[in-house]
Amino acid sequence: MNPPQIAQPSAMKKISTSANSTKPFPRPPKFKNATRLQNSFTAATERKALLWLAARMPPSINSDHLTLLGFSAMFLAGCSYAFARWNPWGLLLATLFLALNWLGDSLDGTLARVRNRQRPRYGFYVDHMIDSFGALFLMGGLAASGYIDWRIATGLLVAFLLLSIESYLASYTLGIFRLSFAKFGPTEIRILLGIANAVLFFLPAARIPGWSHRLLDICGAIAIVAMTAMAIFAAVSHTLTLYRQETLLPSKVPSLQ
């Protein structure tokens, strides 16, 4: 058996030098926040309410706690809709959890800004990944509730994600992050869902006058058309804007003579 080889001092020094020469992971360049555009019906009142709440939030609660609250509440809202298939009280539970989702989802960023504890890249990424999964939970619960056709619920999810993708791409390429479209934003959607839940709690077979389809089927179909139209309009508008900003000058082809 050959004896174990012992590294020579010169070899050890070379290894140590190589390890120490490893460069640390470079820090990304300074992140610039996109300009937030929030022009929904409730935006002004909501902004005042959030600032009032943020100023009175206990120091032991931070923005991460509120983000987790919003995420958990949206998951439970979806579960409540699924429960409503067997018990209409699930509709009222869903409304309660939608309100808690508003509190967590809307207040986390405000609290970070008020306390000057912002993490722009982390906040943007986590917040909108949670929104995407939250939409999946909510629409999945609605599809299981029996109050809406599962195909309408699926269409709502697809239209929401399409509009979200357009908004995120515009944030990156144009520096504009639009939080509302046609005066409607997440808060207005929660309010409309809460109203629909109350109507269905008392009138499970509610129909829109003159229509034979169920309430949420009609409202969902309208929402699909509206969100898809908004996404198409925004995509065309932003494509034209970017094309004008990055118009290429005619290139000179070198002569072969």
Helix (H) or strand (E) holding 155: helix 150-174
Please enumerate in sequence order all residues whose Cβ is within 8 A of that of 58, keeping only pairs 6 or more positions apart, or say none. Answer: none
Q: What is the pLDDT of residues 137-177, one digit of tens each?
A: 999 999 999 999 999 999 999 999 999 999 999 988 888 88
Report how far residue 27's alpha carbon sits from residue 44's, in angstroms, rounded to the nearest whole number.
37
* Cβ 98 vs Cβ 190: under 8 Å: yes
Q: How far is CA 166 from the centre of its chain?
A: 12
**Residue 60 pLDDT level (bands cut at 50, 70, 90):** very high
Question: Cα–Cα distances in Å, from 93 out to 26, 81, 98, 147, 150?
Answer: 47, 8, 9, 15, 20
- 99 in a domain, yes or no? yes
Residue 199 lies in a domain: yes
- Asked whether residue 36 carries a pLDDT value surpassing 80, the answer given is no
Mean pLDDT over 2-6 rounds to 47
Residue 127 lies in a domain: yes
Residue 10 lies in a domain: no
Domain hosting residue 149, numbered range = 32-241
The answer to the question of residue 79 being in a domain is yes
pTM of the model: 0.81
| Residues 43-56, mean pLDDT to the nearest whole number | 91
> Where residue 249 falls among pLDDT bands split at 50, 70, 90?
confident
Is 138 part of a structural domain of the chain? yes
Looking at residue 190, which CATH number applies to its domain? 1.20.120.1760
Q: Please give the average per-residue pLDDT across 1-27, as a whole number.
A: 47
**pLDDT for the residue numbered 178:** 81
123: left (phi over 0), alpha (psi -120 to 50) or beta: alpha
- The tens digit of pLDDT for each residue in 218-229 reads 999 999 999 999
Residue range 121-149: mean pLDDT, rounded? 93
Give me the mean pLDDT over the 179-197 stretch. Answer: 87
150-174 vs 215-245: helix crossing angle, rounded to 10: 20
Cα 148–chain centre separation: 23
Query: Can you give the pLDDT at residue 58?
Result: 94
In a domain, 116, yes or no: yes
Query: Position of tokens 């309100």?
Result: 99
Q: Is the pLDDT of residue 10 over 70?
A: no
How many domains, the chain?
A: 1
In a domain, 2, yes or no: no
Adjacent-strand bridge partners of 127 = none
